[in-house]
Structure 1
Amino acid sequence: MSLLWVVHDDPTLTFPARAWAELLGLDQPATAGARRIKNALRWLDANQFIDLESARGHDAIVHLLEDSGSGRRYELPGATYTRLRRSKPAAADAHRYIQLPRELWTNGWIGALSGPALTMLLVLWLETGKTIKHPDPKWVWLSPSMAHDRYGLSEETRLKGAQELTRLHLIRTSQRAVPPDAFQFRRGRNSHQVQQQVLVGQQPGTAPA
Protein backbone atom coordinates (compact mmCIF):
# COMPACT_ATOMS: atom_id res chain seq x y z
CA MET A 1 0.00 0.00 0.00
CA SER A 2 2.78 2.43 0.85
CA LEU A 3 4.44 1.81 -2.51
CA LEU A 4 1.16 2.54 -4.28
CA TRP A 5 0.67 5.69 -2.19
CA VAL A 6 3.91 7.35 -3.30
CA VAL A 7 3.90 6.33 -6.97
CA HIS A 8 2.99 8.92 -9.60
CA ASP A 9 3.33 8.60 -13.37
CA ASP A 10 6.31 6.25 -13.43
CA PRO A 11 5.82 3.03 -11.40
CA THR A 12 9.53 2.89 -10.56
CA LEU A 13 10.75 3.92 -7.13
CA THR A 14 14.12 4.35 -5.47
CA PHE A 15 14.12 4.93 -1.73
CA PRO A 16 16.61 3.94 0.97
CA ALA A 17 15.21 1.23 3.23
CA ARG A 18 15.80 3.57 6.16
CA ALA A 19 13.50 6.19 4.59
CA TRP A 20 10.72 3.61 4.20
CA ALA A 21 11.19 2.53 7.81
CA GLU A 22 10.87 6.13 8.97
CA LEU A 23 7.76 6.66 6.83
CA LEU A 24 6.11 3.63 8.41
CA GLY A 25 7.17 4.58 11.92
CA LEU A 26 9.23 1.43 12.48
CA ASP A 27 11.55 1.17 15.46
CA GLN A 28 15.27 1.63 14.80
CA PRO A 29 14.75 2.74 11.19
CA ALA A 30 18.45 2.71 10.32
CA THR A 31 18.99 -0.89 11.45
CA ALA A 32 16.17 -3.25 12.47
CA GLY A 33 13.54 -1.17 10.68
CA ALA A 34 15.56 -1.13 7.46
CA ARG A 35 15.97 -4.92 7.65
CA ARG A 36 12.20 -5.33 7.94
CA ILE A 37 11.76 -3.19 4.82
CA LYS A 38 14.32 -5.23 2.87
CA ASN A 39 12.65 -8.48 3.93
CA ALA A 40 9.25 -7.12 2.88
CA LEU A 41 10.59 -6.05 -0.51
CA ARG A 42 12.07 -9.50 -1.09
CA TRP A 43 8.69 -11.08 -0.25
CA LEU A 44 6.88 -8.73 -2.65
CA ASP A 45 9.42 -9.56 -5.35
CA ALA A 46 9.04 -13.32 -4.82
CA ASN A 47 5.24 -13.02 -5.07
CA GLN A 48 5.26 -10.86 -8.21
CA PHE A 49 3.97 -7.65 -6.68
CA ILE A 50 7.21 -5.84 -7.54
CA ASP A 51 10.29 -6.42 -9.66
CA LEU A 52 13.24 -5.69 -7.39
CA GLU A 53 16.49 -4.49 -8.93
CA SER A 54 19.32 -4.66 -6.42
CA ALA A 55 22.98 -3.73 -6.68
CA ARG A 56 25.59 -3.91 -3.94
CA GLY A 57 26.26 -0.50 -2.43
CA HIS A 58 23.19 1.13 -4.01
CA ASP A 59 19.58 1.59 -2.99
CA ALA A 60 17.23 -0.97 -4.49
CA ILE A 61 15.14 0.06 -7.48
CA VAL A 62 11.52 -1.05 -7.19
CA HIS A 63 9.43 -1.58 -10.32
CA LEU A 64 5.77 -1.86 -9.34
CA LEU A 65 3.72 -4.70 -10.80
CA GLU A 66 -0.06 -5.13 -10.75
CA ASP A 67 -1.39 -5.51 -7.22
CA SER A 68 -3.31 -8.60 -8.34
CA GLY A 69 -0.05 -10.54 -8.40
CA SER A 70 -0.32 -11.16 -12.13
CA GLY A 71 3.27 -10.04 -12.73
CA ARG A 72 2.20 -7.43 -15.28
CA ARG A 73 3.57 -3.89 -15.12
CA TYR A 74 1.60 -1.57 -12.86
CA GLU A 75 -0.59 1.12 -14.41
CA LEU A 76 -2.23 3.97 -12.54
CA PRO A 77 -5.82 2.77 -11.95
CA GLY A 78 -7.58 6.04 -12.75
CA ALA A 79 -6.00 6.43 -16.17
CA THR A 80 -6.41 2.73 -16.95
CA TYR A 81 -10.09 2.70 -15.95
CA THR A 82 -10.78 5.75 -18.12
CA ARG A 83 -9.00 4.15 -21.07
CA LEU A 84 -10.89 0.85 -20.83
CA ARG A 85 -14.36 1.72 -19.53
CA ARG A 86 -15.99 2.21 -22.96
CA SER A 87 -14.23 -0.41 -25.05
CA LYS A 88 -13.67 -3.09 -22.38
CA PRO A 89 -15.92 -2.38 -19.38
CA ALA A 90 -15.31 -5.78 -17.76
CA ALA A 91 -11.56 -5.23 -17.89
CA ALA A 92 -12.01 -1.68 -16.61
CA ASP A 93 -13.81 -2.90 -13.48
CA ALA A 94 -10.60 -4.58 -12.31
CA HIS A 95 -9.03 -1.12 -12.04
CA ARG A 96 -11.62 0.48 -9.76
CA TYR A 97 -10.02 1.90 -6.65
CA ILE A 98 -10.66 3.86 -3.48
CA GLN A 99 -8.72 6.83 -2.16
CA LEU A 100 -7.50 6.86 1.42
CA PRO A 101 -6.46 9.96 3.38
CA ARG A 102 -2.74 10.66 3.41
CA GLU A 103 -3.00 10.82 7.20
CA LEU A 104 -3.13 7.03 7.22
CA TRP A 105 0.62 7.39 6.61
CA THR A 106 1.52 10.84 7.92
CA ASN A 107 -0.23 10.32 11.28
CA GLY A 108 1.45 6.95 11.78
CA TRP A 109 -1.60 4.69 11.50
CA ILE A 110 -0.10 2.52 8.76
CA GLY A 111 2.61 1.32 11.14
CA ALA A 112 0.33 1.03 14.17
CA LEU A 113 -2.42 -1.13 12.68
CA SER A 114 -2.16 -4.90 12.56
CA GLY A 115 -2.87 -6.79 9.35
CA PRO A 116 -6.46 -7.69 10.36
CA ALA A 117 -7.20 -4.11 11.43
CA LEU A 118 -5.86 -2.59 8.22
CA THR A 119 -7.77 -5.16 6.17
CA MET A 120 -11.03 -4.41 7.97
CA LEU A 121 -10.49 -0.68 7.62
CA LEU A 122 -10.17 -1.07 3.85
CA VAL A 123 -13.25 -3.30 3.66
CA LEU A 124 -15.39 -0.97 5.78
CA TRP A 125 -14.15 2.06 3.84
CA LEU A 126 -15.20 0.40 0.59
CA GLU A 127 -18.56 -0.76 1.97
CA THR A 128 -19.30 2.74 3.29
CA GLY A 129 -19.18 4.06 -0.26
CA LYS A 130 -19.70 7.72 -1.05
CA THR A 131 -21.11 8.45 2.40
CA ILE A 132 -17.53 8.19 3.73
CA LYS A 133 -17.30 11.92 2.94
CA HIS A 134 -20.34 12.75 5.07
CA PRO A 135 -20.10 13.88 8.71
CA ASP A 136 -22.31 10.92 9.64
CA PRO A 137 -21.42 8.07 7.23
CA LYS A 138 -23.64 5.04 6.94
CA TRP A 139 -23.36 2.10 9.30
CA VAL A 140 -22.07 -1.12 7.77
CA TRP A 141 -23.14 -4.60 8.74
CA LEU A 142 -20.72 -7.22 7.46
CA SER A 143 -21.87 -10.78 8.09
CA PRO A 144 -19.35 -13.65 8.21
CA SER A 145 -20.60 -14.96 4.86
CA MET A 146 -20.38 -11.51 3.24
CA ALA A 147 -16.85 -11.03 4.56
CA HIS A 148 -15.79 -14.40 3.19
CA ASP A 149 -17.60 -14.32 -0.15
CA ARG A 150 -16.79 -10.72 -1.10
CA TYR A 151 -13.34 -10.30 0.42
CA GLY A 152 -12.03 -13.74 1.37
CA LEU A 153 -11.85 -12.79 5.06
CA SER A 154 -11.80 -15.41 7.77
CA GLU A 155 -13.99 -14.98 10.84
CA GLU A 156 -10.87 -14.49 12.96
CA THR A 157 -9.60 -11.66 10.74
CA ARG A 158 -13.00 -9.98 10.68
CA LEU A 159 -13.45 -10.07 14.46
CA LYS A 160 -9.86 -9.19 15.39
CA GLY A 161 -9.77 -6.34 12.91
CA ALA A 162 -13.07 -4.84 14.05
CA GLN A 163 -12.12 -5.13 17.72
CA GLU A 164 -8.81 -3.36 17.18
CA LEU A 165 -10.36 -0.57 15.11
CA THR A 166 -13.02 -0.06 17.77
CA ARG A 167 -10.40 0.08 20.52
CA LEU A 168 -8.46 2.71 18.54
CA HIS A 169 -11.66 4.73 17.90
CA LEU A 170 -11.24 4.40 14.13
CA ILE A 171 -14.70 2.85 13.94
CA ARG A 172 -17.78 2.88 16.14
CA THR A 173 -19.42 -0.47 16.79
CA SER A 174 -23.01 -0.75 17.87
CA GLN A 175 -25.89 -3.21 17.87
CA ARG A 176 -28.22 -1.99 15.16
CA ALA A 177 -31.26 -3.52 13.49
CA VAL A 178 -30.65 -4.96 10.04
CA PRO A 179 -33.11 -4.00 7.25
CA PRO A 180 -36.52 -5.55 7.97
CA ASP A 181 -36.75 -7.30 4.61
CA ALA A 182 -33.54 -9.25 5.28
CA PHE A 183 -35.17 -11.43 7.95
CA GLN A 184 -38.65 -12.32 9.11
CA PHE A 185 -38.14 -10.16 12.18
CA ARG A 186 -35.75 -7.36 13.04
CA ARG A 187 -32.54 -8.48 14.71
CA GLY A 188 -29.73 -6.48 16.23
CA ARG A 189 -26.35 -7.02 14.61
CA ASN A 190 -22.94 -5.54 15.29
CA SER A 191 -22.60 -2.74 12.75
CA HIS A 192 -19.66 -0.42 12.20
CA GLN A 193 -19.25 3.24 11.29
CA VAL A 194 -15.88 4.52 10.05
CA GLN A 195 -14.59 7.51 12.03
CA GLN A 196 -12.60 9.28 9.36
CA GLN A 197 -12.11 12.36 11.54
CA VAL A 198 -10.11 10.29 14.04
CA LEU A 199 -7.82 8.88 11.35
CA VAL A 200 -7.28 12.35 9.87
CA GLY A 201 -7.05 14.35 13.08
CA GLN A 202 -5.47 12.01 15.61
CA GLN A 203 -2.41 9.83 16.02
CA PRO A 204 -2.25 6.32 17.48
CA GLY A 205 -2.34 6.39 21.26
CA THR A 206 -4.15 9.71 21.55
CA ALA A 207 -7.74 10.01 22.68
CA PRO A 208 -10.16 11.36 20.08
CA ALA A 209 -11.26 14.94 20.56
Structure 2
Amino acid sequence: MSRSSAAAVTADSRRLLKQLISRSSRTSGVQFPPAFLRDDDGLDPPLSRILRGGQGGDVRLKLYLTMTLLAARHPHDIRGIPAATWAHVLGLPEPKVNGARRIGDALDFLAGMKLIGIAGGQGRPRNVLLRDPSGNGTTYSWRGNRYISMPLGFWANEWIYRLTGSSVALLLVLRDMRSNRQPSDAPWLTTDQKRRYGLSEATWTRATKELTNNGLLIVRRRPQGRDFDYRRLRNTYWVSTERLDDSTSPPATPPQE
Protein backbone atom coordinates (compact mmCIF):
# COMPACT_ATOMS: atom_id res chain seq x y z
CA MET A 1 0.00 0.00 0.00
CA SER A 2 1.06 3.59 -0.57
CA ARG A 3 1.24 6.15 2.21
CA SER A 4 -2.17 7.50 1.15
CA SER A 5 -3.59 3.96 1.38
CA ALA A 6 -2.19 3.60 4.88
CA ALA A 7 -3.82 6.84 5.94
CA ALA A 8 -7.17 5.64 4.57
CA VAL A 9 -7.53 2.91 7.21
CA THR A 10 -9.85 4.76 9.52
CA ALA A 11 -11.99 4.05 12.56
CA ASP A 12 -14.85 3.64 10.09
CA SER A 13 -12.85 0.99 8.22
CA ARG A 14 -12.32 -0.96 11.42
CA ARG A 15 -15.97 -0.60 12.47
CA LEU A 16 -17.24 -1.91 9.14
CA LEU A 17 -14.75 -4.80 9.18
CA LYS A 18 -15.98 -5.88 12.60
CA GLN A 19 -19.57 -5.69 11.35
CA LEU A 20 -18.72 -7.99 8.44
CA ILE A 21 -17.09 -10.51 10.77
CA SER A 22 -20.18 -10.47 12.98
CA ARG A 23 -22.48 -10.76 9.97
CA SER A 24 -20.60 -13.82 8.75
CA SER A 25 -21.33 -15.64 12.06
CA ARG A 26 -18.02 -17.46 11.68
CA THR A 27 -16.27 -18.77 14.78
CA SER A 28 -13.23 -20.25 13.03
CA GLY A 29 -11.11 -19.73 9.95
CA VAL A 30 -12.03 -19.48 6.27
CA GLN A 31 -11.30 -22.57 4.19
CA PHE A 32 -9.78 -22.74 0.71
CA PRO A 33 -9.09 -25.86 -1.40
CA PRO A 34 -5.51 -26.57 -2.53
CA ALA A 35 -6.51 -25.86 -6.15
CA PHE A 36 -6.95 -22.19 -5.23
CA LEU A 37 -3.25 -21.75 -4.44
CA ARG A 38 -1.30 -24.37 -6.37
CA ASP A 39 -1.38 -26.19 -9.66
CA ASP A 40 0.55 -29.43 -10.05
CA ASP A 41 0.26 -29.30 -13.87
CA GLY A 42 2.47 -26.24 -14.24
CA LEU A 43 -0.34 -23.72 -14.77
CA ASP A 44 -0.70 -20.57 -12.69
CA PRO A 45 -3.25 -21.11 -9.88
CA PRO A 46 -5.97 -18.54 -9.12
CA LEU A 47 -4.08 -17.09 -6.14
CA SER A 48 -1.04 -16.02 -8.16
CA ARG A 49 -3.19 -14.64 -11.01
CA ILE A 50 -5.26 -12.54 -8.59
CA LEU A 51 -2.10 -11.07 -7.09
CA ARG A 52 -0.53 -9.77 -10.29
CA GLY A 53 -0.77 -6.09 -11.03
CA GLY A 54 0.73 -4.24 -8.06
CA GLN A 55 -1.82 -2.50 -5.86
CA GLY A 56 -4.61 -3.83 -8.06
CA GLY A 57 -3.62 -7.35 -7.07
CA ASP A 58 -3.57 -6.35 -3.40
CA VAL A 59 -7.16 -5.06 -3.63
CA ARG A 60 -8.39 -8.09 -5.59
CA LEU A 61 -6.94 -10.60 -3.16
CA LYS A 62 -8.13 -8.91 0.03
CA LEU A 63 -11.57 -8.31 -1.47
CA TYR A 64 -11.92 -11.93 -2.56
CA LEU A 65 -10.80 -13.32 0.79
CA THR A 66 -13.14 -10.98 2.66
CA MET A 67 -16.09 -11.83 0.44
CA THR A 68 -15.38 -15.50 1.12
CA LEU A 69 -15.33 -14.70 4.84
CA LEU A 70 -18.75 -13.08 4.59
CA ALA A 71 -20.53 -15.53 2.26
CA ALA A 72 -20.18 -18.42 4.71
CA ARG A 73 -23.47 -20.20 4.05
CA HIS A 74 -25.38 -21.51 1.04
CA PRO A 75 -25.97 -20.05 -1.51
CA HIS A 76 -22.70 -18.18 -0.74
CA ASP A 77 -23.91 -14.86 -2.09
CA ILE A 78 -23.56 -11.23 -1.04
CA ARG A 79 -26.30 -8.70 -1.74
CA GLY A 80 -26.62 -4.97 -1.40
CA ILE A 81 -23.08 -3.91 -0.37
CA PRO A 82 -22.02 -0.79 -2.31
CA ALA A 83 -18.55 -0.61 -3.82
CA ALA A 84 -17.79 2.43 -1.63
CA THR A 85 -18.52 0.37 1.49
CA TRP A 86 -16.10 -2.35 0.37
CA ALA A 87 -13.53 0.40 -0.26
CA HIS A 88 -14.04 1.66 3.30
CA VAL A 89 -13.68 -1.89 4.68
CA LEU A 90 -10.36 -2.40 2.87
CA GLY A 91 -9.06 1.05 3.81
CA LEU A 92 -8.75 2.36 0.24
CA PRO A 93 -8.13 6.09 -0.35
CA GLU A 94 -11.08 8.19 -1.54
CA PRO A 95 -13.52 5.31 -0.96
CA LYS A 96 -16.54 7.03 -2.54
CA VAL A 97 -14.80 7.72 -5.85
CA ASN A 98 -11.43 6.15 -6.66
CA GLY A 99 -11.80 3.45 -4.02
CA ALA A 100 -15.22 2.43 -5.37
CA ARG A 101 -13.81 2.35 -8.90
CA ARG A 102 -11.00 0.04 -7.80
CA ILE A 103 -13.53 -2.26 -6.15
CA GLY A 104 -15.54 -2.33 -9.38
CA ASP A 105 -12.41 -3.20 -11.36
CA ALA A 106 -11.58 -5.96 -8.86
CA LEU A 107 -15.08 -7.44 -9.11
CA ASP A 108 -14.85 -7.47 -12.91
CA PHE A 109 -11.45 -9.16 -12.74
CA LEU A 110 -12.64 -11.86 -10.32
CA ALA A 111 -15.72 -12.47 -12.47
CA GLY A 112 -13.47 -12.85 -15.50
CA MET A 113 -11.55 -15.54 -13.60
CA LYS A 114 -14.87 -17.32 -12.89
CA LEU A 115 -14.28 -17.02 -9.15
CA ILE A 116 -17.49 -15.04 -8.71
CA GLY A 117 -20.64 -14.22 -10.60
CA ILE A 118 -21.91 -10.63 -10.48
CA ALA A 119 -25.29 -9.12 -11.25
CA GLY A 120 -26.80 -5.66 -11.04
CA GLY A 121 -25.08 -2.34 -11.53
CA GLN A 122 -26.32 0.83 -13.25
CA GLY A 123 -25.96 2.86 -10.07
CA ARG A 124 -26.99 0.04 -7.75
CA PRO A 125 -24.79 -2.26 -5.63
CA ARG A 126 -23.77 -5.36 -7.53
CA ASN A 127 -24.73 -8.73 -6.08
CA VAL A 128 -21.99 -11.33 -5.84
CA LEU A 129 -22.22 -15.13 -6.01
CA LEU A 130 -19.13 -17.12 -5.07
CA ARG A 131 -18.07 -19.83 -7.50
CA ASP A 132 -15.61 -22.68 -7.04
CA PRO A 133 -12.22 -21.32 -5.82
CA SER A 134 -10.40 -23.38 -8.46
CA GLY A 135 -11.77 -21.03 -11.11
CA ASN A 136 -13.67 -23.70 -13.07
CA GLY A 137 -16.93 -21.75 -12.85
CA THR A 138 -18.91 -24.42 -11.01
CA THR A 139 -20.91 -24.13 -7.79
CA TYR A 140 -18.89 -22.90 -4.82
CA SER A 141 -17.29 -25.51 -2.57
CA TRP A 142 -14.08 -25.69 -0.57
CA ARG A 143 -14.60 -29.28 0.54
CA GLY A 144 -12.31 -32.13 -0.47
CA ASN A 145 -9.63 -34.40 0.93
CA ARG A 146 -7.93 -31.43 2.57
CA TYR A 147 -8.14 -27.66 2.75
CA ILE A 148 -6.11 -24.63 3.81
CA SER A 149 -7.58 -22.32 6.43
CA MET A 150 -6.97 -18.62 6.95
CA PRO A 151 -7.51 -17.99 10.70
CA LEU A 152 -10.34 -15.67 11.66
CA GLY A 153 -7.79 -13.51 13.47
CA PHE A 154 -6.50 -12.34 10.08
CA TRP A 155 -9.59 -10.13 10.01
CA ALA A 156 -10.52 -9.87 13.71
CA ASN A 157 -7.06 -8.65 14.71
CA GLU A 158 -6.72 -6.43 11.62
CA TRP A 159 -3.81 -8.21 9.98
CA ILE A 160 -5.60 -7.53 6.71
CA TYR A 161 -4.45 -3.92 7.19
CA ARG A 162 -0.94 -4.74 8.34
CA LEU A 163 0.10 -7.14 5.56
CA THR A 164 0.54 -6.48 1.86
CA GLY A 165 -1.20 -8.70 -0.67
CA SER A 166 2.07 -10.49 -1.45
CA SER A 167 2.48 -11.47 2.19
CA VAL A 168 -1.13 -12.59 2.45
CA ALA A 169 -0.62 -14.85 -0.57
CA LEU A 170 2.58 -16.33 0.84
CA LEU A 171 0.87 -16.86 4.18
CA LEU A 172 -1.69 -19.11 2.46
CA VAL A 173 1.10 -20.95 0.66
CA LEU A 174 2.92 -21.52 3.93
CA ARG A 175 -0.29 -22.82 5.50
CA ASP A 176 -0.39 -25.39 2.71
CA MET A 177 3.23 -26.37 3.36
CA ARG A 178 2.87 -26.60 7.12
CA SER A 179 0.70 -29.73 7.17
CA ASN A 180 1.14 -31.58 10.50
CA ARG A 181 4.84 -30.90 11.02
CA GLN A 182 6.43 -29.42 14.13
CA PRO A 183 8.69 -26.32 14.30
CA SER A 184 11.69 -28.63 14.72
CA ASP A 185 10.77 -30.31 11.43
CA ALA A 186 9.73 -27.30 9.37
CA PRO A 187 8.90 -28.01 5.70
CA TRP A 188 10.99 -27.05 2.70
CA LEU A 189 10.36 -26.95 -1.04
CA THR A 190 12.21 -28.14 -4.09
CA THR A 191 12.35 -25.79 -7.06
CA ASP A 192 9.61 -27.74 -8.84
CA GLN A 193 7.38 -27.74 -5.75
CA LYS A 194 7.86 -24.02 -5.31
CA ARG A 195 6.98 -23.35 -8.94
CA ARG A 196 3.51 -24.86 -8.62
CA TYR A 197 2.36 -21.89 -6.49
CA GLY A 198 3.11 -19.46 -9.32
CA LEU A 199 4.67 -16.73 -7.15
CA SER A 200 7.68 -14.89 -8.55
CA GLU A 201 11.04 -14.95 -6.78
CA ALA A 202 10.67 -11.22 -6.09
CA THR A 203 7.28 -11.81 -4.44
CA TRP A 204 8.62 -14.73 -2.43
CA THR A 205 11.63 -12.71 -1.20
CA ARG A 206 9.67 -9.55 -0.36
CA ALA A 207 6.84 -11.42 1.38
CA THR A 208 9.25 -13.65 3.32
CA LYS A 209 10.96 -10.56 4.74
CA GLU A 210 7.65 -8.93 5.65
CA LEU A 211 6.23 -12.01 7.38
CA THR A 212 9.49 -12.50 9.27
CA ASN A 213 9.52 -8.88 10.43
CA ASN A 214 5.96 -9.31 11.71
CA GLY A 215 6.85 -12.40 13.74
CA LEU A 216 4.76 -14.71 11.54
CA LEU A 217 7.56 -16.68 9.90
CA ILE A 218 10.79 -18.41 10.91
CA VAL A 219 13.19 -19.23 8.07
CA ARG A 220 16.21 -21.44 8.67
CA ARG A 221 18.95 -22.88 6.47
CA ARG A 222 19.25 -26.61 6.96
CA PRO A 223 21.18 -29.34 5.13
CA GLN A 224 19.12 -31.94 3.28
CA GLY A 225 20.40 -35.44 2.61
CA ARG A 226 21.96 -38.31 4.51
CA ASP A 227 25.30 -38.16 6.28
CA PHE A 228 27.42 -39.52 3.40
CA ASP A 229 25.47 -37.81 0.61
CA TYR A 230 25.98 -34.33 -0.76
CA ARG A 231 24.06 -32.14 1.69
CA ARG A 232 22.42 -29.20 0.00
CA LEU A 233 21.36 -26.28 2.17
CA ARG A 234 17.69 -25.43 1.80
CA ASN A 235 15.42 -22.90 3.41
CA THR A 236 12.84 -24.31 5.82
CA TYR A 237 9.70 -22.34 6.58
CA TRP A 238 7.68 -22.39 9.79
CA VAL A 239 4.67 -20.07 9.85
CA SER A 240 3.34 -19.03 13.25
CA THR A 241 -0.29 -18.53 12.31
CA GLU A 242 -1.27 -18.77 15.97
CA ARG A 243 -0.01 -15.18 16.21
CA LEU A 244 -2.83 -14.12 13.87
CA ASP A 245 -5.38 -15.18 16.47
CA ASP A 246 -3.49 -13.54 19.33
CA SER A 247 -5.47 -10.43 20.21
CA THR A 248 -2.59 -9.20 22.39
CA SER A 249 -0.40 -8.61 19.31
CA PRO A 250 0.59 -4.97 18.72
CA PRO A 251 -2.06 -2.84 16.98
CA ALA A 252 -2.09 -3.35 13.23
CA THR A 253 -0.10 -0.81 11.25
CA PRO A 254 -0.85 -0.64 7.51
CA PRO A 255 2.13 -1.60 5.33
CA GLN A 256 4.31 0.90 3.47
CA GLU A 257 5.56 0.02 0.01
TM-score, normalisation: structure 2: 0.62
Residue 128 of structure 1 corresponds to: 178
How far has the Cα of 1:6 moved from its partner?
1.4
Residue 192 of structure 2 corresponds to: 145
Residue 163 of structure 2 corresponds to: 113
Residue 205 of structure 1 corresponds to: 253
Aligned partners of 1:46 and 1:65: how far apart in 2?
12
Alignment of 1:170-189 (within 5 A): 170-178=216-224, 180-181=225-226, 184-189=229-234
Residue 116 of structure 2 corresponds to: 50
TM-score, normalisation: structure 1: 0.74
How far has the Cα of 1:62 moved from its partner?
0.6
Q: Name the CA shift for 1:137/1:194 in 2 (closer, same or farther; >3 Å).
A: farther
- Secondary structure in 1 aligned to 2:132? coil
Aligned partners of 2:208 and 2:229: how far apart in 1?
27
How far has the Cα of 1:183 moved from its partner?
8.2
Contact 1:147 1:158 in 2 (8 A): no
Structure with the larger RCO, 1 or 2 (CA within 8 Å, 6+ apart): 2
Q: Name the CA shift for 1:142/1:204 in 2 (closer, same or farther; >3 Å).
A: farther
- Secondary structure in 2 aligned to 1:190? strand
> Where has structure 1 moved over 6 Å in runs of 4 or more?
none
- Secondary structure in 1 aligned to 2:95? coil
Aligned counterpart in structure 2 of residue 10 of structure 1, from 55, 64, 75: 75
Q: Name the CA shift for 1:182/1:198 in 2 (closer, same or farther; >3 Å).
A: farther
Residue 87 of structure 1 corresponds to: none
The letter for the 2-side match of 1:144 is T
Residue 89 of structure 1 corresponds to: none
Write out per-residue CA displacement over residues 98-134 of structure 1, whole angstroms, 9 at most, x where no aligned residue: 2221121233323443333222111111111135xx7
The letter for the 1-side match of 2:89 is L
| Bigger radius of gyration | 1
Write out per-residue CA displacement over residues 47-87 of structure 1, whole angstroms, 9 at most, x where no aligned residue: 22211112323211011122222122223x23xx4xxxxxx
Contact 1:24 1:108 in 2 (8 A): no
Residue 22 of structure 1 corresponds to: 88
What is the total number of aligned residue pairs between the two structures?
185
The letter for the 1-side match of 2:152 is R
**Structure 1 stretches of 5 or more lacking a match?**
82-92
**Structure 2 stretches of 5 or more lacking a match?**
1-64
RMSD across aligned C-alpha pairs, in angstroms? 2.7
Aligned partners of 1:183 and 1:115: how far apart in 2?
42
Q: Name the CA shift for 1:49/1:137 in 2 (closer, same or farther; >3 Å).
A: farther
Q: Name the CA shift for 1:190/1:111 in 2 (closer, same or farther; >3 Å).
A: same
How far has the Cα of 1:137 moved from its partner?
7.4
Contact 1:103 1:199 in 2 (8 A): yes
Q: Is 2:214 the counterpart of 1:164?
A: no
